[in-house]
Structure 1
Amino acid sequence: MTDSHTLEPRHQHHELSSGVSMHAVHWEPAEPTLPPCLLVHGLASNARLWDGVARRLAALGHRVVAIDQRGHGHSSKPDGPFDMASVADDLRLVITELGWQRPLIAGQSWGGNVVIEFAHRHPGAASVIVCVDGGSIELQRRMPDWEVAKEQMAPPSLIGTPIAKLREWMTTSNADWPAEGIEGQLANFEVRDDGTIAPWLTLERHLLVLRGLWEHMPSDLYASITDPVLWISADNGQSEWTEAKRAGIDAAVSALATSRSEWFSPAHHDVHAQHPAEVAALLHGAVTDPDFF
């Protein structure tokens, strides 16, 4: 086992046959003896939200790669497509580029839906699928009209906000987060020369990704998925939202061949950034403990 505090990531761009230049954050253990892990962020997020989890997994002996999905972070910014099949197939191309065999693949929020789509499209290509407060998102059930969904879920305009103001707000609102999680959240934004920020994901691309998520119905896919699926979910204290989420995940666990659900309460949607040690322990157990599922 390696001391996690001594680990530093390596950044690399992978040129995929899809035309995407994908930025990846590599965490290399001193002795890579355990299954590799691919970590996938959510909508308008970035690879660095996984730093706390990735550092701990690498210290345990896992090769870990966290990616910026197309349009996000330091990856290329194509005009499209951003449908679920295209972004899920990017993961397959990354795994091939890395030369990995059957890694654990974890996705958060929108990324959870992406990895469910991956499991459907590429059965057996992963050892375990992990959905972190995502994977069961079905926006059409709450907002059947796309125009309504687009209006209600369009992101706030943060362009021009001073980075110092944003840092203060994030530190105050996420007071129980480790510093690594705060820095990961700040990495969602480009910092301009004048000290103000702009999201790496443009509004136009954000809406295209959102449309792909709105069109996605993961419950139609569960019966086809043979890989074991771990659900890690956050109870944010809002009973109506949590009850609906629990019902969706309970249905998913029942429909899947092999599945397990774990809840964090109370917890933030970015539970992997808020509780990296606990999330890393679950991912580690999912691929090392034969009785985990």
Structure 2
Amino acid sequence: MVWTAAAGDGPDVVVLVHGSMDRSAGLLKLSRRLDDRFRVVRYDRRGYGRSTPHDGPFGMPDQVDDLRRVILEAEPERCVVVGHSYGGNVALALADHHPDLVDAVVTYESPLSWLPWWGGSAGSSAMEARDDPAAAAERFMRSLIGDERWERLPSGTRAARRAEGAPMLGELADLRAAPPWRPDRVTVPVLVLFGEHGRPHHRRGAEHLADMLPDARLEMVPEAKHFGPNTHPDDVAQRVLRFIDASG
């Protein structure tokens, strides 16, 4: 089982899915900007935050099954899944394998790690240290937030992040091995977001993703980087709400 939290009322549900080496708290600001209109459900994916310890496995089929259970427990009349980074792939895989459970998907800078041109430095750096999960987790975090910010984190926080190396390596290896979803099977509307100041491969990935999917639209979040849902929650929420209204 995974830890979940919900806010807001109503029959329509928005589920927020966090990325690698993150937790649902990273999407709390976005949740607070959506829960006046929707019942917003956040959850810590297996192996992260309050869903630890977890013995795995950490591949995409198990991630999708967790998300499926979260949605079924919420019993929504209408469900939109918003996924940040790796979480976007979980949302798209759910739309592929369980299209009856989701009405629309929003992704924010989701990695396309199985493509030969993908150049994600955080994931590549982590996989180089795959024999030492704790060291791999630290490499991943240093690549994402920088050495200076990593060193400023409290020792307990650094230890907690290093303890999440196993789930991170499991999901990253699985994502590199094969596509987790087929574009032609993702038939729900999809909003593909990316940050104006994100890394070039994330922008290219968002553009490629929007081109691949049958019913997708692409939007840039001004001034944002990879953690736009946390740093620019108002802009992201506005785009999500417009998309939901247009897809309704």
TM over 0.5: yes
Please state if 1:138 is matched with 2:120. no
Partner Cα distance (2:12, 2:76) in 1:
9
1:122-154 CA-partner distances (Å, limit 9, x unpaired): 1132111010111x522452479x998710783
Larger Rg: 1
Could you say which residue in structure 2 is the equivalent of 1:11? none
- The counterpart of 1:223, out of the listed 165, 168, 184, is 184
Q: Please tell me the root mean square deviation across aligned C-alpha atoms, in Å.
A: 3.3
Partner Cα distance (1:128, 1:253) in 2:
14
Could you say which residue in structure 1 is the equivalent of 2:46? 70
Please state if 1:289 is matched with 2:208. no
Please tell me whether the aligned partners of residues 91 and 105 of structure 2 are also in contact (alpha carbons under 8 angstroms). Answer: yes
TM-score w.r.t. length of structure 1: 0.69
Deviation at 1:210, TM superposition (A): 1.7
Deviation at 1:257, TM superposition (A): 2.2
Structure 2: any 5+ residue segments left out of the alignment? Answer: 131-135, 141-145
Q: What does 1:227-246 correspond to in 2, within 5 Å?
A: 227-236=188-197, 238=199, 240-241=200-201, 245-246=203-204
Please tell me whether the aligned partners of residues 193 and 206 of structure 2 are also in contact (alpha carbons under 8 angstroms). Answer: no
Please state if 1:40 is matched with 2:17. yes
Partner Cα distance (2:212, 2:124) in 1:
31
SS at 1:119 equivalent? helix
Could you say which residue in structure 1 is the equivalent of 2:137? 155
Partner Cα distance (2:98, 2:21) in 1:
25
- The counterpart of 1:211, out of the listed 151, 169, 173, is 173
Closer, same or farther: CA 237–92 of 1 in aligned 2, 3 Å: closer
Structure 1: any 5+ residue segments left out of the alignment? Answer: 1-19, 159-165, 173-185
Partner Cα distance (2:242, 2:176) in 1:
32
Query: Counterpart amino acid of 1:98?
Result: A
Please state if 1:56 is matched with 2:33. yes
Deviation at 1:217, TM superposition (A): 1.9
TM-score w.r.t. length of structure 2: 0.81
Q: What does 1:1-293 correspond to in 2, within 5 Å?
A: 20=1, 22-29=2-9, 32=10, 35-59=12-36, 61-134=37-110, 136-142=111-117, 150-151=127-128, 154-156=136-138, 169=149, 191=156, 197-199=159-161, 201-217=163-179, 221-236=182-197, 238=199, 240-241=200-201, 245-246=203-204, 248-289=205-246
Partner Cα distance (1:103, 1:200) in 2:
34
Identity of aligned residues (%): 27
Query: Counterpart amino acid of 1:271?
Result: G
Deviation at 1:90, TM superposition (A): 1.0
The count of aligned residue pairs is 234
Query: Counterpart amino acid of 2:17?
Result: V
Deviation at 1:204, TM superposition (A): 2.3
Higher helix share: 2
SS at 2:208 equivalent? helix
